[in-house]
Amino acid sequence: MLKRLKVIGGCGLVFSVLLFFALQFVRPKGAWAQTQRQVDPHAAFKNEPVVVTKITYRNTKVQSFRSVKGVGENPDPVTPFQAGDAWVQDLTVYLLNRTNQTIVHASFTFSFPETTNWATRFRAVFPLTVGRIPDAFAFEDGRAISQRPDAQPISFGPGQVMAIHLGDYIDRIRADVEPSQSLSQLSKMDVGMVSFFFADGLRWSGSFRVLDQQTKTWQRADPNFFPGNQDARLPGLPGWVEQ
């Protein structure tokens, strides 16, 4: 923009001085505006199948993995960063499959706590679902789950990292959030895990579950069950290499 305003000739110095003083009283907008933001990833328990390893803003890491701590331990921090009005679309969330099985369907939430209305318990949330549940296991409370005919399973393999670029979904995010408040006016976002379906029909939604094929209802697996080694593939452990 300033290059277009460049003046060639004797009046250029006067114009430049006037422009300098004018800019001192104009609030920067768009990419110029920098506000403190923060993204709170889901703090993971050791027996969870998928964790957020990091979050980047314009390819710079602004948030690291967070885990649930024991009594008396300091929590992993949520780190503020400076970002412009278009901050949400410039975020990328990196997710690690810690299990030894392939995930074919995943559901997440991206919520904005500053929109919370405590009287109505409403909060603006963008739900994101990717993949397809195997048809033989697409049931909830005995009823078949409706899926888009064109939905295809993802292939989120063991030990793999999946990157979610929020810019790919920004129009949908705005549609869900901006009736409450403009994204540019918000400074906080939370990332939540909802459910994961595996290629063999195993499900995680707060705990691991298996489908009773007679009743088509989900039954909790043993609390100690984990498909793989729950002490491995965890950021911060010896041998962990960030991807």
pTM: 0.84
As a whole number, mean pLDDT of residues 78-106 equals 97
31, pLDDT greater than 70: no
pLDDT at 10: 42
* Model pLDDT, residue 18: 37
Whether 4 has a pLDDT exceeding 70, the answer reads no
Q: What confidence tens digit (pLDDT) does each residue in 5-20 have?
A: 223 344 443 333 333 3
Write out pLDDT tens, residues 221-235: 999 999 999 988 888
How far is residue 43's CA from residue 12's CA, in Å, rounded to a whole number?
A: 56
For 126-180, write each residue's pLDDT tens digit: 999 999 999 999 999 999 999 999 999 999 999 999 999 999 999 999 999 999 9
